[in-house]
Structure 1
Amino acid sequence: MSPQHKQRDWSLRYADWLIRHRWLVLTTTLILALLAASGARFLAFNNDYRVFFSNENPNLQAYEDLQKTYTKVDNILFAVEALDGDVFSHDVLEAVETLTAEAWMLPFALRVDSVTNFQHTYSEGDDLIVQDLVEGASTLTPRELSAARTVALNEPQLAGRMINPEASVTGINVTFQMPMKSIDEAPITVAAARALATEIEDKYNVRVYMTGMVMLSNAFFESAMQDMSTLVPLMYAVIVAVTYLLVRSVSATIAAVMVIIFSMLGGMGLAGFLGVQLTPPSSSATTIIMTLAVADSIHILVSMFAAMRRGLSKHDAIRESLQINIGPVFLTSITTAIGFLSMNFADAPPFHDLGNMTAMGVMLAFLLSVTLLPALMAILPAKANHGTTSIGRSMDKLSNFVVTRQRPILFATVAASVMLISMIPLNHLDDNFVDYFDESQAFRTDTDFINQHLTGVYQLHYSLDSQQANGVSDPEFLQKLQKFTDWLREQPEVRHVSTISDTFLRLNKNLHEDDASYYRLPEDSELAAQYLLLYELSLPYGLDLNNQLNVGKSTTQLVVTLNNAGSVQLKSIGERGTQWLHDNLGMEAYGVGPSIMFAYIADRNMQGMLVGTILALLIISLLIGISLRSVRLGALSLIPNLLPAGLAFGLWGGLVGEVNMAVSMVTGMALGIVVDDTVHFLSKYLRARREQGLNAEQAVRYAFSSVGVAIVVTSLILVFGFSVLAQSSFGMNSNMAILTAISIFMALVADFLLLPVLLIKLDRKYYPLQAPQRSNEFIDGQDSAAQEEKPYETQPV
């Protein structure tokens, strides 16, 4: 007995058993599905931006080391816009002063910096005076307001960072020390900050905007919640509508929707049992699982109703559908799961979770499609509409077109493929974490305003080591620090540089009776150390120099604020800075921080996914070859499986050209999805060749007529599903969905045009007839009915 006959015989026995015990199967399946779904109670949302980086990520490790040395950089930057255009008016300065004072009360607040509490220094005789730049804003005279304006606009620590040149927008930067003990720390903090901003806006003539790393973390959470509340219901509506329009059966639609719901809930529940935490990328697994789960149900339902239209009873139609679909559906499910599991090779853990959750959901969808779905259909009333559908008639016309126009189709597809693939080099890796969010997100609009009117939100942090205790006061080290600062300020990407050398310049002038000629670095290390000590002793609690100096005063942190830039520019300035330090000062230091971490993540993901995709491709090809029992066809299947991703990236290069962290993940997951059409087409093609004795052209016609409708419908559902996900407010998800939808469409074209022509041209070997192993009336009925309905299938073409 051949392996295929064994499989068919087993599938028939399974179908008989399932129909006899349909109530037991239904009850058991529902109980197990509910048990799996119960794990969803353990799911929690991780909104920390660090979740995008693995513990082995060198950029994250460098960043964590920096934060152990200096003050944390998790912050909220309030930008206060004076609606009358003048920050240095009584009303606006009072608003800034009030907001500064109240910000100390925000949850987990560690430090608050603003123009009002900036520690302004000047001399009075032999004394160094250190005090807030603005005290009692409402009582200041016009002369005092003008003096404060002059200091703020000329102080390097403030200009370009805390006040814009027009003095119309000012900033209040709040640094937070998150205890990292609860997942709701960022939402709690942001809620309190927004309440404070609203209070200030209501009381004063100002508008308040907010950005910063805490706001970024919270934006991830809000984006995911928004998507889950809008996209999931929309996906349900699309699935219900498309399924009903296809099968025109309420019972079949109910059965398919139940499979989809329990696949999604079960996949999320199993993730909960495994301790997976939701993130914006992994939360999209709900929509993806729903999209993929419907495909299995459609193949089984389409075959069942087709058999019923030929006169088979409902139970016999279920048997036939399971017999011809259980193998291909299992193969497509396992290959899809492998494609998503390849995402574990990415550097970003959220994509590991997305891949694993989706893989579990896909395999649950397969199990439910061959248990819950047929059991429900065996119980519920179902009636097939008579007549051939317009899509079915279109399949006949398409098969005729492909068979009779082989040469033009081959030339056209090859030419189009070469043209699109040639555009792949137009793609370039670039990432911008602000652009992850669309303009429906407050974080995006506020950040854009602050970038345009106040300062940048991207920063590089350099830690420069003097190699000796109290070495930051050494004149030679200070000269090196100042040279690096001056070089940075000349770079086009740089907006502001915060450095301790500016403080030494100011102190040296102050302690020489504010003589402007002494606005230079001190030349004596002991004198410089005394300046620094005197200044530190005069600083109020909470505004010390821990954000710039380590405890031993051997290293200092230099913070570079950059213009809004993509990852290419960020990497460029970071690498240029490191190289300049090495070449000109003989020092080793690397720019670190969240912005540079996000800048490199796409590169690291692409490298990992290259390995993952190659491994997935080898495994999938091996499985197809074993399943088809044909090395030649297994190798031939590589063309329609690999080509769609290449065509999609080529089209993306021509239309968009920017590949970010999410887009770099598409190759593996798209490979797992697009292989489905190839497997179903080849399985029906080989069935016609081996069991009905048809030649290659006749077998192609048979494949179109028997599975073409299901392939079209499932492909359209997949495209619609990912098109729904493309509406996500989170750019990672939307870009990934768009490129995947393009890949699926390209796969449909390849499987309906290129694959049939390749089969006709390259698969002309003789296949000995393999008679069905088990005599069964509905099999004979199927074959005879198929021959009556498609007489050309046994006639020479």
Structure 2
Amino acid sequence: MQQAWVQIGWLLLVLLAVVGLPKLQVQPSIQAYFSKDDPQVIALERFQQQYTAAPNLLLLLTSDVSWRGSSQQKSLKDFIEQLGQLSGVDAVSPYTLLALEQALPPNIAKQFVSEDSLNISLGLNISPEIAAQASALKQLFEHLDSRFDVFSKTVGFSYRYGGELALSRQYLAVLRHDLSWFAPALLLSFALLFSWVIRQPRWLLGMASCALISLLITLGLSAWMSLKLAAISAFLPLVLVSLAMAYSSHLYFAWRRLLRTKANQLPLSSAQAMHLALESKLLPLFWGALTTALGFLLLYLSPSPPIADFGLMVAMAVVINAVACYSILPLWVKGIDVTSTTIDVRPEADSIKFSGLIKARKSLLILVFGLSVVAVMSVKNLRFDDDSLGYFPDDNPFSQSRNLVQQQFLGMHSLRYLLLEKDQSQRSFADVSALESLLGFLNKQPEVRQLTSRNDWLDWLEQDPSAKAKVFALQQADVEWLKQEQLLTVWLQPLTSRQLIAFEQRVADWAGSQQINLSPAYSNNLLFAKFSQANGQAMLLSFAAALLLVALVVLLLRRSVYLMVLALLANGLPLLWVFALWQWSGQHLSLGSAVVMGMMLGIIVDDSLHILLNVHPARSVANLQQGMNDIIPALLLTSGALVIGFSLGALSDFLPIQQMSLLSSLSLVIALVFDLLLLPLCLPLRDTSPSLSIGESI
């Protein structure tokens, strides 16, 4: 009866998840990485509402003939009218046509028409509702493609998409690409690995069912909780399934060991062996699941909603899988006929000779100490840096459009400022000398590519009296803009996040020293740069909190300050070494690498807990040897499964996932070395003589 209620409970959860799955939202926009309550996000939104938001989609058109020809311009005007009628298109920038008519100053026209007039940039303002919905965004690009197909029959040209929504489109493409590759690659690699090691069909089916049910319920509950998937969420299935399979592997090896040790005694049924395995592994698996779940929950410290949601989803999956292993897995295992199953009664071979390692313990620890000191010195030089426009390979459509904008136009990096009077309530024009001084300072900065200020527009209006009427007819809002405070646009060379923040700070410091009342810089790129830095700092805090969690758990379980320090070193040093290698290779802390710092400690501590709870206290070297022999196969398989699962992220076209994959895999490998070779050597032994038998008293 109890089993029937368990099955009914799981069935109801699965049904609830299936009903919720269609509600799961995919957030394609880069804006999803920013919290709506962030003061800088709110300030940027207000600025864009008041001073016209920069186009969030660029149409980059390349022709073999000049776009300044009358027939080309006439076709372009007709095309622009059609674009304006598309659902979701709030506005089409008129400045491209003005630039083609040579009605703009050359430095301003560069934003829209290349010097050879063969490339033009047409800006579209797409409704935020469209930009935030994956299905609506996909439909928008389908409509645009159909319009381009018709237009290209009249005018021969090629086109690319650029700007924020082109980036969002690639995020969606990454999510689809990665999920389509990750699923079969994970299935194939795990089928080979686990079938080769376990060779028990019912065990394999039970482990797979626990993993898939956990994944399904997690996604379904996430939908009901309004959690969202973003590009970085493509890593989610790899993490969930790898952790689930690794978790249940410990139970298999405990089950197999019990059948081996009892083979010459009273025979155990498969169900009895499973029951004893669950009892013997309760503490390490419970605390392992708890530390892993809490470790991922610490990602909630991230200022980015997708990263926080990612952590919450994995934490839920870890808990769900732990419950599944204790309720669903036994239902599969009890049907195994152990009388017809060949059980190797020989004890596990000594895969690692700890007697020899103990003799070399002093040398090994000195080596580890020396390498750790070097690693600390290296990590001190690790800096936060990122480039949200460089997440894709060079042959990616977005990378190609980014290069085109940087080569033929003014680029994709810009900052916008307001220069106000000291008394901002008057809303009067800024002092001319202050503007000239600011322009002079900015023109001397090597990062600056070009400046656009109100002076350029005023010069144009003075030189061409008809220009104001043209602008007024095309976009009255921008004429009103000319009557407001001094708006200054700084076009920059391609910069990383760190370089962009440094430039913005340098300008702010200079303006303060000159007592010029300059507003903060407004830019989506700058917003992402500051977010990346804040996220890195949050992940450092998450890492520190995870270390504290490990310390408290070990202290609670073992009541030993020495073992607590040992656990901290065994789990902290692998990450220190990994990020030292990362710095030595010339890399920085970015979106993907910072997340690894926040999440990995909760994963790698699992093996340490198994050693501390199953091997310690060891009375002798022989006692230590047997204790490690019992758990080494499980540690090798679980770590191997995690390394394989996480390394599949290298198949992604998305740089943050590639970085998460590489750093996670390296962390797991180095942590395994620490757990198998160094942690046992540091466990206190009453007798280091290898000849002391297990049965002798202390």
Same fold (TM over 0.5): yes
CA drift of 1:791 comes to 10
CA drift of 1:293 comes to 0.8
Residue 546 in structure 1 maps to residue 517 in structure 2: no
Specify which of 374, 378, 399 is matched with residue 444 of structure 1: 399
Does the 8 Å contact 1:115/1:171 carry over to 2?
A: no
User: Counterpart of 1:189 in 2: which secondary structure?
Assistant: helix
> Partners in 2 of 1:217 and 1:554 — Cα distance?
33
Does the 8 Å contact 1:25/1:375 carry over to 2?
A: no
> Partners in 2 of 1:548 and 1:671 — Cα distance?
55
Residue 351 in structure 1 maps to residue 301 in structure 2: no
The amino acid of 2:276's aligned partner reads E
User: Counterpart of 2:108 in 1: which secondary structure?
Assistant: coil
> Partners in 2 of 1:98 and 1:181 — Cα distance?
25
Where do residues 149-548 of structure 1 align in structure 2 (5 Å cutoff)?
A: 155-159=106-110, 161-179=111-129, 183=133, 184-310=135-261, 311=263, 312-381=268-337, 384-387=341-344, 393=349, 395-439=350-394, 441-466=396-421, 474=429, 477-511=431-465, 536-546=468-478
Does the 8 Å contact 1:644/1:674 carry over to 2?
A: no
CA drift of 1:714 comes to 0.6
1:438-473 Cα shifts (integer Å, max 9, x gaps): 34642233223322333311221212334579966x
CA drift of 1:367 comes to 0.6
Does the 8 Å contact 1:498/1:558 carry over to 2?
A: yes
Unpaired runs of at least 5, structure 2 = none
User: Counterpart of 2:186 in 1: which secondary structure?
Assistant: helix
1:677-709 Cα shifts (integer Å, max 9, x gaps): 1011111112xx3xxxx5142332123211001
1:495-550 Cα shifts (integer Å, max 9, x gaps): 33332221111222335xxxxxxxxxxxxxxxxxxxxxx86555355523438828
Does the 8 Å contact 1:110/1:542 carry over to 2?
A: no
User: Counterpart of 2:128 in 1: which secondary structure?
Assistant: coil
Specify which of 60, 63, 78 is matched with residue 41 of structure 2: 60
Residue 719 in structure 1 maps to residue 643 in structure 2: yes
> Partners in 2 of 1:723 and 1:330 — Cα distance?
26
User: Counterpart of 2:615 in 1: which secondary structure?
Assistant: helix
2:614 aligned residue: 684
Does the 8 Å contact 2:434/2:516 carry over to 1?
A: no
> Partners in 2 of 1:388 and 1:195 — Cα distance?
69
User: Counterpart of 1:165 in 2: which secondary structure?
Assistant: coil
> Partners in 2 of 1:274 and 1:499 — Cα distance?
46
CA drift of 1:275 comes to 1.5
Does the 8 Å contact 1:111/1:543 carry over to 2?
A: no
> Partners in 2 of 1:300 and 1:433 — Cα distance?
43
User: Counterpart of 1:347 in 2: which secondary structure?
Assistant: coil
CA drift of 1:722 comes to 0.9
User: Counterpart of 1:379 in 2: which secondary structure?
Assistant: coil
CA drift of 1:92 comes to 5.6
1:8 aligned residue: none
CA drift of 1:326 comes to 1.8
> Partners in 2 of 1:463 and 1:193 — Cα distance?
35
CA drift of 1:749 comes to 0.9
Unpaired runs of at least 5, structure 1 = 1-19, 120-132, 135-147, 512-533, 767-789
CA drift of 1:489 comes to 4.0
2:587 aligned residue: 657
Deviates more, 1:583-592 or 1:43-52: 583-592
User: Counterpart of 1:284 in 2: which secondary structure?
Assistant: helix
User: Counterpart of 1:539 in 2: which secondary structure?
Assistant: helix
Residue 636 in structure 1 maps to residue 566 in structure 2: yes
> Partners in 1 of 2:692 and 2:71 — Cα distance?
88
CA gap of 1:181–1:175, structure 2 versus 1, over 3 A, is closer
CA gap of 1:482–1:113, structure 2 versus 1, over 3 A, is farther
Does the 8 Å contact 1:87/1:93 carry over to 2?
A: yes
Deviates more, 1:320-329 or 1:407-416: 407-416
Residue 708 in structure 1 maps to residue 620 in structure 2: no
1:255-306 Cα shifts (integer Å, max 9, x gaps): 1110110111111122122121222223432221111111111110122123
RMSD: 3.1
CA gap of 1:210–1:399, structure 2 versus 1, over 3 A, is same
The amino acid of 1:328's aligned partner reads P
1:67-94 Cα shifts (integer Å, max 9, x gaps): 221212242112222346x544567656
1:378-400 Cα shifts (integer Å, max 9, x gaps): 1355665544899x54x533434
> Partners in 1 of 2:427 and 2:464 — Cα distance?
22
The amino acid of 1:364's aligned partner reads I
Specify which of 14, 37, 44 is matched with residue 25 of structure 2: 44
1:728 aligned residue: 652
CA drift of 1:111 comes to 3.3
CA gap of 1:187–1:584, structure 2 versus 1, over 3 A, is farther
1:409-461 Cα shifts (integer Å, max 9, x gaps): 22333333333333213422111111223346422332233223333112212
CA gap of 1:274–1:188, structure 2 versus 1, over 3 A, is same
2:521 aligned residue: 591
User: Counterpart of 1:492 in 2: which secondary structure?
Assistant: coil
The amino acid of 2:168's aligned partner reads S
CA gap of 1:95–1:293, structure 2 versus 1, over 3 A, is farther
1:72 aligned residue: 53
User: Counterpart of 1:423 in 2: which secondary structure?
Assistant: helix
> Partners in 1 of 2:583 and 2:328 — Cα distance?
43
> Partners in 1 of 2:566 and 2:480 — Cα distance?
62
CA gap of 1:44–1:29, structure 2 versus 1, over 3 A, is same
CA drift of 1:205 comes to 3.0
Residue 753 in structure 1 maps to residue 677 in structure 2: yes
Does the 8 Å contact 1:436/1:732 carry over to 2?
A: yes
CA drift of 1:328 comes to 0.7
Does the 8 Å contact 1:726/1:734 carry over to 2?
A: yes
User: Counterpart of 2:504 in 1: which secondary structure?
Assistant: helix
CA gap of 1:447–1:538, structure 2 versus 1, over 3 A, is closer
Does the 8 Å contact 1:318/1:374 carry over to 2?
A: yes
Does the 8 Å contact 1:162/1:172 carry over to 2?
A: yes
Does the 8 Å contact 2:23/2:224 carry over to 1?
A: yes
